[in-house]
Structures are given as structure tokens and as C-alpha cells.
């Protein structure tokens, strides 16, 4: 067994003793832990550190220090099936430098939690068993504490009478709230909210019964727009994409949405929403599809109409 393999084996033992689920008792999660301790094979456990690393940094550590090469397309698996669970267990902190950083930000980072670091520095010592027991006795409370801290930064949104949801913090969620509270009021008064997405949990709100009644069946893997509003009076489905950083209704997305909702006889209205008319707006303006609308939260009572024979209305409608 090489020194790198021995170190990964030690990290696996630690994960097992910390009570991690079976799904996380693998080399990938062990390597994530070692990277976030900056614990290469030649170091002792008492030399563990607490750098703030992104997923890319973790993959670089695996390659440079442990001779384990992960393909670029494994980044999401590392985040979703290893790092995320270490955060949930309270072993890692997510964005300790900026807890309200958007979930989809490229600057997302992770760091070993202080108590976990102090414990792991004693791995292999006579004090390990006693310190581990003391740590495990407080771990659940610690994880709940971090969850509450993250929840304090979430955005509260009233979607209908007596029903509120929360969205992940960040510009994308701020824009979604503006779409519902300002665009909806100005352009779809009395509209019924059908769907709201979120960067943290895509299907944050979904009135499946209403959409089914309109003739649309969408599975959990359907690529829904960020917001869907039903205008009962005009029998329109208003499909809105929130563009805080990417994802306008371009020609390709227009086709995807028309196919997704083609089974409904409701008129389809396509809207791209931007925070304002600055950098992101200018970046995507040239690719916005014709026969769609553009709305900016900074100018909530104005629309930009992209050609076509009607203004804010479905095409193919009488």
C-alpha cells in the first residue's frame, strides 16, 4: 500500500468513526476530508490545517498530493455526494467567509469546522477515543446550529394566501421575488402562481394540480422556467426565466419551453427577466428570442417587446 493509499484508508476510518452514512464511506469523501485538512501523506494528523477550498481546489489536491485524477465532469458528484454530506454533518462549513453567498456562485467554498479540526488533530493518539465520544455527543446540535445560521439568510416569499416559501439567498432569488411581487402585479394581475424554482431546490413551489388541469404533465426532471404564472381570465401561461447571471429565453430555450408546454391549450407567453439594464442585460440582449418579452426589475412598469405582431401575448392566439 502506498503512502497516499494509507492516508486515504485512515481518512475512511475517521469518517466511519464519525458516523457518516454508508454512501459516504468511500475514497472520494475521504479525499475531500483530506483536502480540507491539507493533509498530504507526508504530514502527521496533528499538522492538519483549515484552508478554505472550492471543489476545483479539492480535485487539484487529489491529483497533486494523492495521485488521484478525477475527470472534470465529476465536480458535481464531489459536491453533491461528498462535500454536501460533510456540511450537513457539521464537519465542514459552507462559505464561512460569506454565508449568504448565492448557491450557484463560482466562489462557493468550504472549510473544516473548528471543533472537528481540533478533534482530528488527535487522531491516532491515546486521547482520540475520549475526544471522539465528547465530539459525537455535541455533533447533532452543532449541525442544527449551522443549519439555522444558513436559514437566517434565506429569502421569505408569500406565494399565495396563507402560504410562504423560502428561497436560497442571492441575486437570482431576489429577482424571482421581484418577478412575483412586481412583474406579476403589473402585467398578470390576479394571476395564479403555478411554479417557482430555486437554485438550492429547483421545485420550491409547484401547483401540480393546476398545471395538470391545464393539460401539462411535467416530471421532476422537466426543465421548468424559473417562474410560471397562470392568467385565468386570458387563459395564458406566462413563462419567466430569471437571468441574474445566465439563462435567457434564447431561441433554443424557446423551443424547449414550447415543447414542454405544448399539450396545454393555454396561450404561452415567454418572458426574460433581468435585475436591470446593466452588464448581464447587455451580455444576453443579442440572443433573446424574437416574439418574447424582456422585463427589468429596476424598471418594473416597463417591458421591452421583441418584435412580433402582438405585445405581451401568446402567438397563435386568436
Q: How confident is the model at residue 106 (pLDDT cuts 50, 70, 90)?
A: confident
Q: Given a cut of 50, is residue 243 above it in pLDDT?
A: yes
What CATH topology corresponds to 3-151? Arc Repressor Mutant, subunit A (1.10.10)
Beta strands 293-296 and 303-305 are antiparallel
Q: How confident is the model at residue 220 (pLDDT cuts 50, 70, 90)?
A: low
Average pLDDT over residues 23-49: 95
The pLDDT, as a whole number, for residue 110 is 97
Cell, residue 32: 475531500
Average pLDDT over residues 176-202: 86
Average pLDDT over residues 176-192: 91
The pLDDT, as a whole number, for residue 201 is 58
Instruction: For residues 318 and 287, give the distance between their C-alpha atoms in angstroms, rounded to a whole number.
Output: 28
Q: Given a cut of 50, is residue 198 above it in pLDDT?
A: yes
Query: What DSSP assignment string belongs to 199-234?
Result: SSSS-SEE-HHHHHHTT----TTS---SEEEEETTT
The candidate with the shortest Cα–Cα distance to 56, out of 104, 97, 3, 110, is 110
Q: How many CA atoms lie within 13 A of 224 on its CB side?
A: 27
Q: Considering the chain, what percentage of its residues have pLDDT values greater than 70?
A: 87
Q: Given a cut of 70, is residue 171 above it in pLDDT?
A: yes
Taking only the tens place, the pLDDT of each residue in 297-310 is 999 999 999 876 66
Q: What rounded mean pLDDT belongs to the chain?
A: 87
The pLDDT, as a whole number, for residue 221 is 45
The candidate with the shortest Cα–Cα distance to 108, out of 125, 89, 87, is 87
Cell, residue 198: 430555486
Average pLDDT over residues 105-117: 94
Q: Given a cut of 80, is residue 68 above it in pLDDT?
A: yes
What are the residue boundaries of the structural domains of the chain, listed by start?
Answer: 3-151, 155-305
Instruction: For residues 34 and 137, give the distance between their C-alpha atoms in angstroms, rounded to a whole number.
Output: 23
Which of the listed ranges 138-147, 162-171, 214-223, 256-265 does the model predict with the highest average pLDDT? 256-265
Taking only the tens place, the pLDDT of each residue in 132-153 is 999 988 876 545 555 666 666 5
What CATH topology corresponds to 155-305? Trna Endonuclease; Chain: A, domain 1 (3.40.1350)
The C-alpha torsion from 56 through 62 and 64 to 65, rounded to 10°, is 140
The pLDDT, as a whole number, for residue 204 is 74
Angle, CA of 290, 293 and 298, to the nearest 5°: 135
> For the ranges 52-61, 148-157, 160-169, 170-179, which has the lowest average pLDDT?
148-157
Instruction: For residues 85 and 68, give the distance between their C-alpha atoms in angstroms, rounded to a whole number.
Output: 21
Instruction: For residues 78 and 61, give the distance between their C-alpha atoms in angstroms, rounded to a whole number.
Output: 13
Q: How many CB atoms lie within 10 A of CB 164?
A: 10
Sort 255 into a burial class: Cβ within 10 Å, 0-12 / 13-18 / 19+: exposed
**Residues 286, 291, 297, 301: is their CA dihedral positive or negative?**
positive
The candidate with the shortest Cα–Cα distance to 275, out of 297, 299, 246, is 297
Q: Given a cut of 60, is residue 182 above it in pLDDT?
A: yes
Taking only the tens place, the pLDDT of each residue in 78-89 is 998 999 999 988
Amino acid at each position: 500500500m502506498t503512502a497516499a493509499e494509507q492516508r486515504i484508508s485512515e481518512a475512511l476510518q475517521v469518517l466511519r468513526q464519525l458516523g457518516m452514512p454508508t454512501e459516504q464511506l468511500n475514497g472520494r469523501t475521504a479525499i475531500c476530508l483530506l483536502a480540507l485538512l491539507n493533509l498530504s501523506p507526508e504530514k502527521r494528523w496533528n499538522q492538519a490545517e483549515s484552508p478554505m477550498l472550492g471543489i476545483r481546489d479539492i480535485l487539484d489536491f487529489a491529483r497533486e498530493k494523492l495521485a488521484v485524477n478525477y475527470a472534470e465532469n465529476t465536480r458535481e458528484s464531489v459536491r453533491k455526494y461528498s462535500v454536501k454530506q460533510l456540511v450537513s454533518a457539521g464537519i465542514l462549513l459552507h462559505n464561512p467567509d460569506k454565508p449568504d453567498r448565492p448557491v450557484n456562485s463560482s466562489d462557493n467554498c468550504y472549510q473544516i469546522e473548528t471543533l472537528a479540526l481540533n478533534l482530528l488533530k488527535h487522531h491516532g493518539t491515546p486521547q482520540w477515543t475520549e475526544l471522539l465520544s465528547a465530539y459525537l455527543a455535541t455533533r447533532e446540535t452543532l449541525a442544527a446550529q449551522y443549519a439555522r445560521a444558513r436559514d437566517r439568510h434565506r429569502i421569505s416569499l408569500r406565494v399565495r394566501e396563507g402560504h410562504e416559501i423560502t428561497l436560497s439567498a442571492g441575486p437570482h432569488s431576489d429577482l424571482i421575488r421581484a418577478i412575483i411581487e412586481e412583474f406579476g402585479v403589473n402585467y398578470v394581475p390576479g394571476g395564479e402562481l403555478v411554479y417557482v424554482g430555486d437554485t438550492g431546490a429547483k421545485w420550491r413551489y409547484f401547483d401540480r394540480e393546476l398545471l395538470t388541469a391545464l393539460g401539462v404533465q411535467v416530471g421532476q426532471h422537466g426543465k421548468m422556467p424559473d417562474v410560471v404564472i397562470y392568467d385565468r381570465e386570458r387563459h395564458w401561461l406566462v413563462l419567466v426565466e430569471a437571468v441574474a447571471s445566465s439563462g435567457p429565453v434564447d431561441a433554443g430555450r424557446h423551443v424547449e419551453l414550447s415543447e414542454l408546454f405544448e399539450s396545454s391549450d393555454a396561450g404561452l407567453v415567454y418572458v426574460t427577466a433581468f435585475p436591470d439594464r446593466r452588464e448581464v442585460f447587455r451580455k444576453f440582449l443579442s440572443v433573446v428570442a424574437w416574439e418574447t418579452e424582456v422585463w427589468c426589475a429596476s424598471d418594473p412598469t416597463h417591458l421591452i417587446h421583441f418584435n412580433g405582431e402582438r405585445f405581451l401575448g401568446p402567438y397563435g392566439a386568436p
